[in-house]
Amino acid sequence: MPSRRRSRHLVNIALLAVVILLTTFVLRALLDNVMQLGLDSQFWYRDFVGNLFIGLLLYGLIQGLRSSVLMSILIISLMQLGNGYKLAVLGTPTSPDDFINIQNLFLLADGAALLALIGVVVLPLMLLIFLVRWRSAVTWAAICLMVSLIMGAHSQREPLRAALDKRFGNSVWNQPQNFKRRGLVLHVAQESVRTMAKVGQVPSEKEVSKAMQSLSLTPRESDSLVASSSDMRNVHIIVLESFYDPLTLGEAWVPEDPFPSEFRALWEVTGNSTALSPVFGGYTANAEFEVLCGFPVTENAVFFEGWLRRPVPCLPDVLRQAGYRTVASHPNVAGFWNRTLAYRLVGFDEYLSKSAFDTSDRVGSFLLDHSYYDQLFEKLGPLNSGPTLNYMLTYHGHLPYPKSDKYPDQVNAGQDAPLLQGYLNHLWYKSRDLMQRLEKLRTNDPTALIVIFGDHLPFLGNNYGVHTEALGLPADRADFTAEQLEYLTSTPLIVIDGKRGPLNIGTLPLYRLPSLILSLLNKEDDGMFAWTANPPGEIVRPVYGMNYTLRKDGAGASCPTESNNPQCRASKHWLSRTRILIADIFTGKQHSLKAIEQTKEVALKARYTQD
């Protein structure tokens, strides 16, 4: 009898393998021909082996051929197509972060989208729980095997990471190519091991000390946070969702300017200054982290999720210590991208989220900016009641740019591009709401420091969509030039310094904004924000897995991690040192912050002794 059962299982496993092989080929054809991902055909077998592993695990849990085949096809298809969608939208494949942050999808979705998400994620999980043979010893053996594999990988994460990289390769800057060479399951497993190795490692005091050797730790003469009470003026930071200049796509695509002439005139006074964002098409939280904390995002992850673990003297905390009221607001659900915890760790005392606003004046799920501004400033109260850091993250303008009869289209795209058409009209309303609020703000708070910028470029179709069609971007990210990367990360930047008016800032990475803000407030010590000052004559913009540099002489260089380009030498050294400081300050033991405090104490004691 046991022999007959064993033979039956072997036959079932063989049939399951055939089904998974066919499923693999069908899905790869869809990803290649419909989503146009350009898969590498020579590595199809790795995709198959990874899918087969999932199928065998499910068979061990379910132990029935029909149910195992059903669940295997369902789960493998959802994983592969979900990965294809992410690649098409954000240009990067599935990562361990996506599974950690899956709750954010439920927080963002509502209505039909929420029901679809439940159908895609929750129902298959419930079906699997129902089908598992919980009383079978084989089931528990399969579960124990999985737990043992995970625990073993965690205990040997660094040697395992090195072995996997040696066998299957790893390009830090080209995650899409990694996925295409490995197949999805192996890619997720390999990157999970890498994440365990990164998160489990914090730099030692010796490593931090070495990284800081090139930094100046000598404090300024004054130990005060702000030079005088006259500089305790309000700071308004307005982060504009998916806000950029669409005329850069060319007249054939954008024949009508969605911006009002008042915005064009204001931006022209600044010299058309631009901010360089760490992200494209999404991951707003990474742009936020840079603006609030003054350090670049260098990992392919959402920094607010898992990497920001310690209270840190970011810009809100510095201003709070100086006597400011610190308020963050965003008319989305509070916990999205872990903002509730992250905002507290960086120094905000107050956080106004979706529940604090009447969201009836909306398009789709997105509260119109004029309503958001009106409600927010009513809640803030008199602007002359004390210095306030007012950090505003708008929501209107977010993908998928829904339509509304209440807010009909005002401009038209020059080509048949529904996403571009929707985006341009969101931008039309959004830019006018901004100018109306800005006029009121400059009248009611004439001395305020006002900082306005877009968080990232809009998503306009698969594989950079309209951006690629209009500008002829390469099919492979490996071939992007520094100028093309600059285009994909550049958004308008407007800084209004009270009665001095708009400033010509030029091109500025978002992580350098805190230092600029403090200098305009006449703060005499930049603290940790000074540590990300760029190499002389260069602007360094890290983007996941690589960086690009812009030089004052007009030259630029794209710098993958593996590159030996001499033009990348200074930026690679800067990036290596900065990564150590990031890991120490935000995740590790904060040796660098303790060192600077000790240096200040010694300098102050010496000064007082002399006096």
Residue 310 sits in a domain whose CATH number is: 3.40.720.10
Give the pLDDT of residue 51. Answer: 93
Question: Quick count: other Cβ atoms within 10 Å of Cβ 585?
Answer: 24
CA nearest neighbour of 296 among 600, 611, 540, 570: 540
CB-hemisphere CA count at 13 Å for 254?
24
Q: Where are the beta strands (DSSP E) in 212-315?
A: 235-240, 274-276
Last residue of a domain, one of 498, 526, 554: 526
Amino acid occupying residue 364: G
- Which ranges of the chain have pLDDT less than 70? 1-2, 89-92, 97, 100-111, 113, 171-174, 198-200, 216-231, 306, 525, 545, 561-562, 599-611
Structure tokens at 21: 């092989």
Last residue of a domain, one of 526, 553, 569: 526
Give the pLDDT of residue 611. Answer: 53
Contact 126, 134 (CB under 8 A): no
Are 165 and 246 within one domain?
A: no
Find all residues with CB under 8 Å of 507, minimum gap 6, and list them: 273, 274, 276, 490, 539, 550
Are 152 and 263 within one domain?
A: no
Are 263 and 356 within one domain?
A: yes
Are 185 and 243 within one domain?
A: no
Does 540 fall in a domain? no
Torsion of CA 273, 553, 555, 560, to 10 degrees: -80
CA nearest neighbour of 72 among 90, 57, 87: 57
Are 182 and 240 within one domain?
A: no
Does 428 fall in a domain? yes
Contact 370, 433 (CB under 8 A): yes
Q: CA 569, CA 21: separation in Å to the nearest integer?
A: 46
Range of the domain at 136: 2-199
Give the pLDDT of residue 115. Answer: 78
Does 578 fall in a domain? no
CA nearest neighbour of 124 among 80, 77, 71, 85: 71
| Burial class of 553 by CB neighbour count within 10 A (0 to 12, 13 to 18, 19+) | exposed
Structural domain count of the chain: 2
Does 469 fall in a domain? yes
Structure tokens at 370: 């004029």
Does 556 fall in a domain? no
As a residue count, the chain comes to 611
Helices (H), 312-391: 315-321, 339-346, 369-380
Are 305 and 348 within one domain?
A: yes
Q: CA 548, CA 296: separation in Å to the nearest integer?
A: 13
CA nearest neighbour of 440 among 356, 362, 377: 377
The values of phi and psi at residue 463, to 5°, are 55, 50
Q: CA 242, CA 401: separation in Å to the nearest integer?
A: 10
Contact 23, 51 (CB under 8 A): yes
Are 186 and 322 within one domain?
A: no
Amino acid occupying residue 36: Q
Are 245 and 347 within one domain?
A: yes
Are 314 and 385 within one domain?
A: yes
Amino acid occupying residue 593: L
Does 12 fall in a domain? yes
Strand duo 235-240 + 350-352: pairing: unpaired
Contact 546, 559 (CB under 8 A): yes
CA nearest neighbour of 296 among 486, 454, 482, 510: 510
Find all residues with CB under 8 Å of 423, minimum gap 6, and list them: 242, 246, 397, 401, 458, 460
Report field, pTM of the whole predicted structure over 0.85: no
Does 558 fall in a domain? no
Contact 258, 431 (CB under 8 A): yes
| Burial class of 70 by CB neighbour count within 10 A (0 to 12, 13 to 18, 19+) | middle
Q: CA 271, CA 274: separation in Å to the nearest integer?
A: 9
CA nearest neighbour of 598 among 218, 309, 149: 218
Last residue of a domain, one of 474, 501, 526: 526
At what angle are helices 157-168 and 137-155 packed, to 10 degrees? Answer: 90
Are 189 and 234 within one domain?
A: no
Helix (H) or strand (E) holding 96: helix 96-100
Going from the C-alpha of 575 to that of each of 94, 294, 430, 556, the distances in angstroms are 25, 14, 36, 16
CA nearest neighbour of 395 among 428, 421, 419, 359: 359
The values of phi and psi at residue 275, to 5°, are -100, 145
Are 140 and 270 within one domain?
A: no
Are 241 and 140 within one domain?
A: no
Report the Cα–Cα distance between both ends of the chain, in Å, rounded: 95
Does 594 fall in a domain? no
Give the pLDDT of residue 377. Answer: 96
